[in-house]
């Protein structure tokens, strides 16, 4: 399949690659991280949950197993084809999503809030706002301190290694990040844009979408729980 990339994003390696440069075959082999447990500790299931940027459903299955009724969204058909455990799957750019209903929880993980284009970032947050139920929660994952500057760095990943090999300052507050994933049987590369956000800048962006950060869910403040700013549900 030929990919039309988002400007500034690309990827290479075996299998389908998404518009933001993610490799489907890579995500198929990754184990879930702590995200489902962090969400469930903050907003106990049963609850309806809108998962934005679900990929192959690495988090969808554990979220469903914890008792969430998940609607999983991604713009990549190849990613969505792998998803199991969701009540529904929806193919759409997140920033243009209009489901006409709301959810107890909206999950914007995988650092998507750091989109290179601020208009896209605000579109993602506006989608969160449109789809959160009155009294519901928006859970957002953001990058930790030093994420852009402690480069190069690497960590073991399964039988291979994940590396951030470069972080290039493109000016105007945006960085071009270079990542590689090397395994004995396969290698993938990804180039993506990331806009660093201080805590104040992050909270300002959230507020601009008529949401407000109520609290952080971890000591590093990489997980934020926000609620509708005006407290009256969908805008």
Ligand X SMILES: C[S@@+](CC[C@H](N)C(=O)[O-])C[C@H]1O[C@@H](n2cnc3c(N)ncnc32)[C@H](O)[C@@H]1O
List residues binding ligand X (CB under 6 A). Answer: 18, 20, 22, 27, 53-55, 58-59, 74-76, 79, 93-95, 109-110, 112
> Which stretches of 153-210 are assigned E, i.e. beta strand?
153-157, 160-169, 175-182, 187-194
In angstroms, give the least distance from the CB of 81 to ligand X.
11
In angstroms, give the least distance from the CB of 231 to ligand X.
27
Burial 182-202 (b: 16+ CB within 10 A, else e): eeeeeebbbbbbbbbbeeeeb
Name the residue nearer to ligand X (CB basis): 55 or 196. 55
Name the residue nearer to ligand X (CB basis): 22 or 132. 22
Residue number with the smallest Cβ distance to ligand X:
55
In angstroms, give the least distance from the CB of 232 to ligand X.
26
Name the residue nearer to ligand X (CB basis): 58 or 227. 58
In angstroms, give the least distance from the CB of 230 to ligand X.
25
Are the beta carbons of 99 and 92 closer than 8 angstroms?
A: no
Quick one: tokens of 174?
Answer: 């945006």
Say which DSSP state 96 is in. G
Are the beta carbons of 125 and 209 closer than 8 angstroms?
A: yes
Name the residue nearer to ligand X (CB basis): 56 or 137. 56
């Amino acid at each position: 399949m030929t990919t039309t990339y988002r400007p500034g994003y690309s990827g290479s390696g075996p299998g389908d690659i998404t518009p933001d440069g993610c490799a489907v075959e890579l995500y198929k082999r990754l184990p879930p991280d702590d995200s489902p447990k962090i969400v469930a500790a903050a907003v106990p299931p049963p609850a309806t949950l809108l998962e934005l940027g679900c990929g192959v459903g690495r988090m969808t299955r554990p979220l469903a197993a914890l008792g969430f009724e998940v609607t999983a969204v991604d713009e990549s058909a190849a990613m969505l084809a792998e998803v199991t455990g969701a009540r529904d799957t929806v193919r759409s750019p997140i920033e243009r999503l209009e489901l006409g209903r709301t959810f107890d929880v909206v999950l914007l993980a995988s650092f998507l809030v750091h989109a290179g284009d601020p208009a896209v970032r605000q579109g993602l947050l506006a989608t969160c706002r449109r789809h959160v139920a009155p009294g519901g929660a928006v859970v957002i994952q953001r990058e930790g301190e030093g994420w852009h500057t402690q480069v190069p760095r690497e960590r073991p990943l399964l039988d291979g290694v994940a590396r951030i090999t470069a972080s290039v300052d493109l000016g105007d507050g945006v960085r071009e990040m270079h990542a590689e994933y090397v395994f004995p049987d396969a290698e993938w590369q990804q180039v993506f844009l990331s806009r660093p956000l201080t805590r104040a800048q992050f909270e300002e962006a959230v507020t601009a979408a008529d949401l407000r950060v109520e609290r952080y869910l971890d000591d590093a403040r990489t997980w934020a729980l926000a609620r509708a700013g005006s407290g009256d549900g969908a805008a």
